[in-house]
Structure 1
Amino acid sequence: MTTEDFPKAYNFQDTEPELYVFWEKNGMFKAEASSDKPPYSVIMPPPNVTGVLHMGHALVNTLQDVLVRYKRMSGFEVCWIPGTDHAGIATQTVVERHLQASEGKRRTDYSREDFLKHIWAWKEKSEKVILSQLRQLGCSCDWDRKRFTMEPLANRAVKKAFKTLFENGYIYRGYYLVNWDPVLQTALADDEVEYEEKDGWLYYIRYRMVGSQESIVVATTRPETLLGDTGIAVSPNDERYASWIGASVEVPFVNRQIPIIGDASVDPTFGTGAVKVTPAHDKDDYLMGTNHHLPMINILTPSGGINENGGPFAGMAKEKAREEILIALEEQGLFVRKEPYKLRVGVSYRSGAVIEPYLSKQWFVSVSEFRGALREFVESQDIKIFPKDFVKNYLSWVNHLRDWCISRQLWWGHRIPVWYHKNDDERVLCYDGEGIPEEVAQDPDSWYQDPDVLDTWFSSGLWPLTCLGWPDENSPDLKKFYPTALLVTGHDILFFWVTRMVLLCSSMSGEKPFSEVFLHGLIFGKSYKRYNDFGEWSYISGKEKLAYDMGEALPDGVVAKWEKLSKSKGNVIDPLEMIATYGTDAVRLTLCSCANRGEQIDLDYRLFEEYKHFANKVWNGARFIFGHISDLQGKDLLAGIDEDSLGLEDFYILDGFNQLIHQLEEAYATYAFDKVATLAYEFFRNDLCSTYIEIIKPTLFGKQGNEASQSTKRTLLAVLLINVLGVLHPVAPFITESLFLRIQDTLGALPEGDGDAFTGHALRMLRSRACMEAPYPKAFDVKMPQDLRESFTLAQRLVYTIRNIRGQMQLDPRLHLKAFVVCSDTTEIQSCIPILQALGGLESIQLLDKEPEKGLYSFGVVDTIRLGIFVPEEHLLKEKGRLEKERVRLERAVENLERLLGDESFCQKANPNLVVAKQEALKNNRIELQGILDKLASFA
Structure 2
Amino acid sequence: MSMDSSFEPSTIESKWYAQWEANGWFKPSGRGEPYSIMLPPPNVTGTLHMGHAFQHTIMDTLIRYHRMRGCDTLWQLGTDHAGIATEMVVTRLLATEGSPGRNELGRDAFIERVWQWKGQSGDTIERQMRRMGVSGDWSRTTFTMDDGPSEAVVETFVRLFEQGLIYRGMKLVNWDPVLKTAISDLEVVSEEEDGKLWSIRYPLTDGSDSLVVATTRPETMLGDVAVAVNPEDERYAHLVGKTLRLPLSDRDIPIIADAYVEREFGTGCVKITPAHDFNDYAIGERHRLTPINIFNDDATINANAPAQYRGLDRKAARKTVLADLEAAGLLVEEKKHKLMVPRGDRTGEIIEPYLTWQWFVKMDGLAARGLELVESGKVRFVPENWINTYRHWLGNIQDWCISRQLWWGHRIPAWYDDAGNTYVARTEADALAQAAAKHGGAAPALRREADVLETWFSSALWSHSTLGWPNEAAMAERGFDRYLPSSVLVTGFDIIFFWVARMIMMTDHFTGKVPFKDVYITGLVRDKDGQKMSKSKGNVLDPIDLVDGIGLEDLVAKRTSGLMKPQDAPKIEKATRKDYPEGIPAFGADALRFTFASLATHGRDIKFDLDRCGGYKNFCNKLWNAARFVLMNVESGAIAPAGTAAATEAEKWILSRLHHCLAQVEAEFAAYRFDLVSQALYEFTWNEFCDWFLELAKPALSGDDAQAAASTRLTLLTVLETLLRALHPLIPFITEEVWQNVKGRLGIAAPTVSLQAYPRAADIAVDAAAEDEIEWLKTVVSQLRRIRSEMNLQPKLTIPLVYAGGSASDKARATKFAAAIGFLAKVESQRWLDAGEAEPAASTAIVGELKILIPLAGLIDIGAEKARLEKEIKRVEGEIGKCHAKLGNESFVANAPAAVVDEMKQRLAEFTTTLAGLREQAGKLGAL
Which of the five TM-score ranges fits, normalised by the shorter chain? 0.7 to 0.9
Secondary structure of 2:800's aligned partner: strand
| Partner Cα distance (1:716, 1:884) in 2 | 41
Q: Label 1:205 to 1:114 Cα distance change in 2 as closer, same or farther (>3 A).
A: same
User: Taking structure 1 as reference, are residues 343 and 769 closer, same or farther at Cα in structure 2, changes over 3 Å only?
Assistant: same
Q: Work out the CA distance in 2 between the residues paired with 1:266 and 1:851.
A: 94
The answer (yes or no) to whether the contact 2:807–2:849 under 8 Å persists in 1 is no
Aligned-pair CA distance for 1:407: 0.5
1:565 — aligned with what? 533
Q: Which is further off, 568-577 or 42-51?
A: 568-577
Task: Give the Cα–Cα distance (whole angstroms) in 2 for the partners of residues 932 and 598 of structure 1.
Answer: 49
Partner of 1:480 in structure 2?
482
Q: Give, in whole Å, the separation in 2 of the partners of 1:7 and 1:677.
A: 26
CA contact (8 A) 1:234 1:241 kept: yes
Residue 840 of structure 1: CA displacement?
Answer: 3.3
Inter-partner Cα distance in structure 1 for 2:201 and 2:865: 87
1:688 aligns with 2:696: no
- 2:514 is aligned to 512
Alpha-carbon distance between aligned partners in 2 of 1:690 and 1:26, rounded to the nearest angstrom? 37
Structure 2 residue ranges without an equivalent (≥5): 549-585, 876-914
Is the counterpart of residue 675 in structure 1 residue 672 in structure 2?
Answer: no
**5+ residue gaps in structure 1?**
527-560, 748-764, 891-926
Which residue of 2 is the match for residue 759 of structure 1?
none
Amino acid of the structure 2 residue aligned with 1:640: A
1:242 correspondence with 2:232:
no
Does the aligned pair in 2 maintain the 1:181–1:354 contact within 8 Å?
yes
Counterparts of 1:85-104 in structure 2 under 5 Å?
85-103=80-98
Question: Does the C-alpha gap of structure 1 residues 257 and 657 become closer, same or farther in structure 2, counting only changes over 3 Å?
Answer: same
After superposition, where does 1:161-560 map in structure 2 within 5 Å?
Answer: 161-311=156-306, 312-426=308-422, 429=425, 431=427, 446-473=445-472, 474-526=476-528
- In structure 2, the residue matched to 1:10 is 7
1:111-126 pair list within 5 angstroms: 111-126=106-121
Secondary structure of the equivalent of 2:200? strand
Q: 1: distance between equivalents of 2:345 and 2:316?
A: 25
Equivalent position of 2:48 in the other structure: 53
Deviation at 1:877, TM superposition (A): 2.8
Superimposed CA distance per residue, residues 525-584 of structure 1 (whole angstroms, 9 cap, x where no aligned partner):
13xxxxxxxxxxxxxxxxxxxxxxxxxxxxxxxxxx331112232322221111111111
1:818 maps to which residue? 800
Q: What are the residue-to-residue correspondences of 1:745-824 with 2, within 5 Å?
A: 745-746=744-745, 766-779=748-761, 781=763, 783-824=765-806
SS at match of 2:338: strand
Report SS of the residue matched to 1:500: helix
> Contact 2:2–2:741 at 8 Å: present in 1 too?
no
Instruction: Give the drift of 1:87.
Output: 0.4
- Which has the higher mean CA deviation after the structures are superposed, 335-344 or 402-411? 335-344
Worse overlay, 270-279 or 736-745: 736-745
Distance 1:653 1:421, change over 3 A: same
Of 777-786 and 448-457, the range deviating more from structure 2: 777-786
1:68 to 63, 70, 74: 63
C-alpha distance in structure 1 between counterparts of 2:716 and 2:697, whole Å: 10
The Cα shift of 1:37 comes to: 1.4
- The amino acid that maps onto 2:723 is V
Indicate if the aligned counterparts of 1:112 and 1:411 stay in contact, CA closer than 8 A: yes
Specify the alignment match of 1:141 in structure 2: 136
Name the amino acid aligned to 2:162. E
In structure 2, the residue matched to 1:611 is 616
> 1:887/1:935 Cα in 2 relative to 1: closer, same or farther (>3 Å)?
farther
1:829 alignment partner, SS class: helix
Aligned: 1:623 with 2:628: yes
Query: How far apart are residue 860 of structure 1 and its match?
Result: 1.6
The count of residues paired between Structure 1 and Structure 2 equals 840
- Partners of 2:108 and 2:654 in 1: CA distance: 67
Q: Is residue 713 of structure 2 the alignment partner of residue 714 of structure 1?
A: yes
Instruction: Note the C-alpha offset of 1:624.
Output: 0.4
Residue 20 of structure 1 aligns with which residue? 17
Q: Secondary structure at the match of 1:693?
A: helix
| Counterpart amino acid of residue 534 in structure 2 | S
**CA contact under 8 A between 1:822 and 1:851: conserved in structure 2?**
no
Which residue, out of 155, 158, 162, partners 1:160? 155
Inter-CA distance 62–785: structure 2 relative to 1 (3 Å threshold): closer
Q: 1:419 to 1:434 in 2, by over 3 A?
A: closer
Amino acid at match of 2:397: L
Q: Deviations over 1:882-939 (max 9, x none)?
A: 559989999xxxxxxxxxxxxxxxxxxxxxxxxxxxxxxxxxxxx9xx9999698699
**Which moves more between the two structures, 580-589 or 801-810?**
801-810
TM-score w.r.t. structure 1 length? 0.85
Tell me which residue corresponds to 1:550. Answer: none
Give the C-alpha shift of residue 837 in structure 1: 3.5
Shift of the 423–862 alpha-carbon distance from structure 1 to 2, 3 Å rule, reads same
Deviation per residue, 1:717-776 (Å, 9 max, x gap): 1111111110111111111111111223455xxxxxxxxxxxxxxxxx934221001111
Change (3 A) 1:744 1:412: same
Tell me what 1:863 maps to: 848
- Per the TM alignment, residue 36 of structure 1 is displaced from its structure 2 partner at its CA by 3.5
Identify if the C-alpha distance between structure 1 residues 846 and 450 changes in structure 2 by more than 3 Å, giving closer, same or farther: same
Identity %: 38
Report if aligned partners of 2:595, 2:613 keep a CA contact under 8 Å in 1: yes
Residues 1:879 and 2:875 are matched in the alignment:
no
Tell me the TM-score normalised to structure 2 length: 0.86
Q: Partners in 2 of 1:638 and 1:276 — Cα distance?
A: 89
Distance in 1 between residues matched to 2:240 and 2:723, nearest whole Å: 80
Cα distance in 2 for partners of 1:621, 1:306 equals 73
Q: 1:602 aligns with which of 604, 607, 611?
A: 607
Superposition deviation, residue 824 in structure 1: 4.5
- Residue type at the aligned position of 2:140: R
- Superposition deviation, residue 409 in structure 1: 0.5
| Match in the other structure for 2:590 | 585
Quote the Cα distance in structure 1 between the aligned partners of 2:844 and 2:351: 74
CA–CA distance in structure 2, aligned partners of residues 737 and 39 of structure 1? 24
Give the conservation status (yes or no) of the 8 Å contact 1:82–1:143: yes
Q: Using a 3 Å threshold, how does the CA distance of structure 1 residues 935 and 784 change in structure 2: closer, same or farther?
A: farther
Query: Matches of 1:276 and 1:67 in 2, distance apart?
Result: 55
Amino acid at match of 2:58: L
Contact 2:423/2:434 (8 A) holds in 1:
no
User: Aligned residue for 1:833?
Assistant: 818
Aligned-pair Cα RMSD in Å: 2.7
Q: CA deviation at 1:783?
A: 3.9
Aligned counterpart, 1:921 = none
Aligned partner letter, 1:347: R
Deviation at 1:242, TM superposition (A): 1.1
The answer (yes or no) to whether the contact 1:431–1:437 under 8 Å persists in 2 is no
How far apart, in 1, do the equivalents of 2:849 and 2:667 lie?
Answer: 38
SS of the equivalent of 1:16 reads helix
Q: Is the 8 A contact 2:842 2:921 kept in 1?
A: no
Seen in structure 2, the aligned counterparts of structure 1 residues 186 and 871 have a Cα distance that, compared at 3 Å, is: farther
CA spacing shift, 1:931–1:481, aligned 2, 3 Å: farther
Amino acid at match of 1:603: F
2: CA distance, partners of 1:640 / 1:199: 75
- Structure 2 distance, partners of 1:845, 1:358, is 88
